[in-house]
A = this chain, B = another copy of it.
């Protein structure tokens, strides 16, 4: 039996969406149990033999500052859900609540794994090969060191290994065009560390990749700092939504284009399905002593169910143990990297 703790109050829509997703999820996973965390009067109507309600009297708002979420709302559904993981009552927690608060509370309650300085947010983006490219970090850390990037590569490899049953997923280091100055000092050093880790078989390092490689599917995992990752993610969301906006506008232009839209319906549906962000919902917070998954705040029931599926798969495939054992393999390298950095620091 796999037990997940669900923050049912989080996200833009709260229980209306999360409970619908939980029902769907339970119906398709016969060995799953859910702890529905939230206000009992809003969750009480939900009945399922493999679901139980865990009361929490407060809700972290989407605009709540991290400090408020962390220090004032000690009985929030988000915090209680994560506490279930800490206490061993659940194998993973899922929330659509605000990312900053989720990361801060997770870090506070669960602590980071030995060998990991900073947790990272990892997410799968659709690629032209029909699969997805896992990217991390997507915004938990700005100003990363080369050592952090190496840690991200190790954690990302464990995540993809757990979710896709591929023991040696390839890792690319996000960099800029070779015709220009090749990356910053941090990136150059990260490249060296990753190459060393690759040679030691601690991971499968492909080399540098560029922004377009994310969507070409050149590698399984793309590693970058949280600032760059967040900008890349939001930029691509922006361009995709601009293109779909133009398509809609142009198909609505006149009676002929409207007919064209109807005739093209199967094509447009196929396109939407391939790039449907709902299918890619569910980011992993990696590097903690427990599994936490983040759903997009605006997720609908289908999208939230995908986040639940991802958390379930991760728990079922022992993601936490895999991260731990990969860190153990990479530990000498991580330690050497840190020592080297300290001795070379001014």
Contact = CB atoms under 8 A, between A and B. Distances in A.
Interface stretch (A25-33, A83-91, A237-245, A309-317): A237-245
Q: Count this chain's copies in the assembly.
A: 2
A54 to B, nearest CB: 25
A109 interface: no
A176 interface: yes
A340 interface: no
A177 B212 contact: no
A234 interface: yes
A345 interface: no
A267 B257 CA distance: 7
A212 B232 contact: no
B140 A180 contact: yes
A2 interface: no
A260 B250 contact: no
Interface string A176-207: 11011101110100000000000000000000
A81 to B, nearest CB: 18
Contact of A183 (B214, B227, B259, B267): B227
A271 B216 CA distance: 22
Nearest to A267: B250
Contacts of A336: none
A220 to B, nearest CB: 16
B226 A228 contact: no
Most B CB atoms within 10 A — which of A180, A212, A230?
A180
A242 B179 contact: no
Contact of A239 (B100, B240, B245, B259): B240
Interface in A205-255: 210-216, 224, 226-228, 230-243, 245-247, 250-251, 253
Interface in A152-191: 174, 176-177, 179-181, 183-185, 187
Interface string A33-50: 000000000000000000
Contacts of A264: 251, 257, 260-261, 263-264
Given A183-B142, A215-B241, A231 B100 contact: no
B251 A239 contact: no
Given A250-B267, A271-B247, A127 B242 contact: yes
A233 B210 CA distance: 10
Given A177-B230, A180-B226, A228-B228, 13 more contacts: A100-B181, A127-B242, A140-B180, A176-B230, A184-B227, A214-B238, A215-B238, A224-B231, A231-B231, A239-B239, A247-B267, A260-B263, A260-B266
Instruction: List the 9 closest pairs (A to B, CB-CB), nearest first.
Output: A211-B234, A212-B238, A211-B235, A215-B238, A176-B230, A236-B239, A260-B264, A142-B184, A232-B235
Interface of A: 62, 98-101, 103, 126-128, 139-143, 174, 176-177, 179-181, 183-185, 187, 210-216, 224, 226-228, 230-243, 245-247, 250-251, 253, 256-257, 259-261, 263-264, 266-267, 270-271, 274-275
